[in-house]
A and B are shown apart, each in its own frame.
Chain A
């Protein structure tokens, strides 16, 4: 696992939303750490709790409607217990976030430059002129051509990639310690995706910050993350270094995810989707939440919930299968795949 100062530590985080249909357990007992200089990838299907986790860390979930428990420690402060003004002073300053759809995330009626300058002015007491100069500098840094002219442009006059660059510039105005990127490339063209990921990676190295990268795309994680957490139904089912996770994945759900992405180099015959659909977060299956979709389920899976345990070398997973069985199963799969690919 990555070394360095722990920036963010989430301990047993639970975010539940009471609704008319029942209690939605969006996040249900999640723990992880993010270090300085590390890109921490969170992977999972829609509704697995990835975004809610991060929105809660930033205090952007609707607290009137959510029941939040556990701890989100950032520089030793529990963000969950901060009051509104304390939270506001952290948000956008030490802890910044960018979102999925940059077009929807920029106010359509304000100039892009002014929106970024506003992010500066709400934490710093500098003049508007200074803020503008800093914005133009930042727009250049994130790779927007002619930043001086672009300052006065409106979001609809920007291309998709430029909008996300502008959002990144907005997140960077105060040199945050931690950048949370929630599906930052999902709404973009494939060619632009790579550029944006590269930009985030460059920024991480240049400023030595931590990055949480939320995505449903394993390919994205494989590119830039050092540590990966796989989430399912509001919980972590597997966590480990990227190399471990991609070369020796442990959890059947991770196997399923890997089987369902296309490879150019390995000529697998066809993509194998994971059977079934993600569970309702109101009626999460008893035991292991994945068991109804798991091809390897056996006796205890529908009764006891497996704990997230270290299976050696900081590689954690939550599954009843023994480590030996897992190794054998994964090797068999690999061998089969290799044969099929010949």
Chain B
């Protein structure tokens, strides 16, 4: 058996290897964004007749003279061949410079850091709700299979996975704001400046975002629990005379390990921006930033949010794999 030191070294090697892969993956993703932005038919950055970039034209003001357009192109680097632009972007990005927003001329990193707290608040808050709700109802459903509780929770879970978030969000705003008046759609409040206002503006988006996930988790946990219940080692646990409580603990240990994976990946994905929920509830997060950037062909911001979202997903994957190896002794780093 390997000692703790040997294991520590393998983990480090593993993390470094994964990081290198991640970097390669990120470059590919950015290249794809460039291709989509500049080359595909109908792309926002594809040069029209006369060779001028539509981005530069739209930024040069009303009825711009060609010299001004050329000037803007030059300033933004859009006059360079695509591979030069891409290389230059990567070079700057490595130094932490993600460029400047075409719209506000702010540094993209500044914009992202301003938009990040609302997204983190939304995703983390919702994830706590769906984790608690999904796991507990899944476990209860499995333990009281075919009971009324089970049937009700399975019906709700079916509804939860079936209802689209945009519809659910709009309905929630309509009922809780317009009809019942217990929620006020308003400006997002930062936790640091007004914790109560933070909860007041976020509780409904948390619920709406959490419902789909809670439904999925309920079904997954219930399924896992039932599957594990039939395992021989649960029969062993009973045969050796364990109390029901301990038998359930054995069951949970196996049934909940995959939940860690799901949770990590889902959260990683959401931290890159919950586009629909943010849009419906007017939350100034990464999701709405991305939508704005795409609508205004704001390439530096699009690239910035892409890097952010990819990094979250990659990082979440890495964390999940490390956590899994810690939770399941059969998993080895390789």
Contacts and interface: CB of A to CB of B under 8 A. Distances in A.
A294 B61 CA distance: 99
A92 B233 contact: no
B124 interface: no
A122 B241 contact: yes
Nearest to A107: B233
Given A104-B232, A105-B233, A109-B328, A170 B250 contact: no
A107 B254 contact: yes
Interface string B82-111: 000000000000000000000000000000
A299 B244 CA distance: 53
Given A91-B239, A99-B232, A149-B1, 19 more contacts: A60-B235, A84-B244, A91-B240, A91-B241, A92-B239, A92-B240, A93-B241, A101-B232, A104-B231, A107-B236, A109-B327, A118-B246, A119-B240, A119-B241, A119-B242, A122-B246, A154-B330, A156-B329, A156-B330
B107 to A, nearest CB: 48
Residue from the set B239, B243, B257 with the largest chain A CB neighbour count within 10 Å: B239
B236 A105 contact: yes
Q: Which of B1, B238, B246 has the most CB of A within 10 A?
A: B238
A158 B180 CA distance: 62
B293 to A, nearest CB: 45
Nearest to A103: B232
A123 B236 CA distance: 15
B7 interface: no
A129 B235 CA distance: 26
B114 interface: no
Contact of A123 (B1, B241, B257, B329): B241
A108 to B, nearest CB: 6
25 contacts: A60-B235, A60-B239, A84-B244, A91-B238, A92-B239, A93-B241, A96-B239, A96-B240, A99-B232, A99-B235, A99-B239, A101-B232, A104-B231, A104-B232, A104-B233, A105-B236, A107-B236, A107-B253, A109-B254, A119-B242, A122-B241, A122-B242, A156-B330, A167-B236, A173-B240
B207 interface: no
B328 A106 contact: no
Chain B: number of interface residues, binned into ranges: 20 to 34
Interface of A: 58, 60, 84, 88-93, 96-97, 99, 101, 104-110, 118-119, 122-123, 149, 153-154, 156-157, 167, 170-171, 173
Contacts of A101: 232
A99 B250 CA distance: 18
A173 B236 CA distance: 14
The main secondary structure of chain B at its interface with chain A is helix
A122 B240 contact: yes
B243 A122 contact: yes
Interface string B160-202: 0000000000000000000000000000000000000000000
Nearest to B239: A97
B291 interface: no
B322 interface: no
Contacts of B237: 107
Nearest to A97: B239
Contacts of A171: 240
B4 to A, nearest CB: 12
A57 to B, nearest CB: 11
5 closest A-B pairs by CB: A92-B241, A92-B240, A104-B232, A119-B240, A91-B241
A106 B233 contact: yes
A123 B232 CA distance: 21
Contacts of A106: 233, 236
A60 B238 contact: yes
Given A89-B241, A92-B241, A107 B250 contact: yes
A18 to B, nearest CB: 15
A160 to B, nearest CB: 14
Given A154-B329, A154-B330, A108 B233 contact: yes
Contacts of A108: 233, 254, 328-330
A109 B237 CA distance: 13
A58 B239 CA distance: 7
A309 to B, nearest CB: 35
Given A109-B327, A110-B253, A154-B330, A88 B233 contact: no
Nearest to B253: A109
Interface string B252-290: 011001000000000000000000000000000000000
- Interface centre among B1, B233, B241, B244, by most chain A C-beta atoms within 10 angstroms, is B241
Interface in B9-61: none
Nearest to A90: B241
Nearest to A59: B238
Contact of B241 (A88, A107, A110, A153): A88
A149 B250 CA distance: 23
A118 B233 CA distance: 13
B235 A105 contact: yes
Q: Which of B231, B242, B250, B328 has the largest number of chain A CB atoms within 10 A? A: B242
A103 to B, nearest CB: 9
Contacts of B330: 108, 154, 156
B236 A109 contact: no
A173 B239 CA distance: 13
B242 A99 contact: no
A84 B244 CA distance: 10
Nearest to A154: B329
Contacts of A154: 329-330
- Most chain-A CB neighbours within 10 Å: which of B236, B328, B330? B236
A84 B250 CA distance: 19
A107 to B, nearest CB: 4
B37 to A, nearest CB: 47
A283 B253 CA distance: 41
Contacts of B254: 107-109
A121 to B, nearest CB: 9
A60 B238 CA distance: 7
Contacts of B243: 88, 122
Nearest to A108: B330
A328 to B, nearest CB: 46
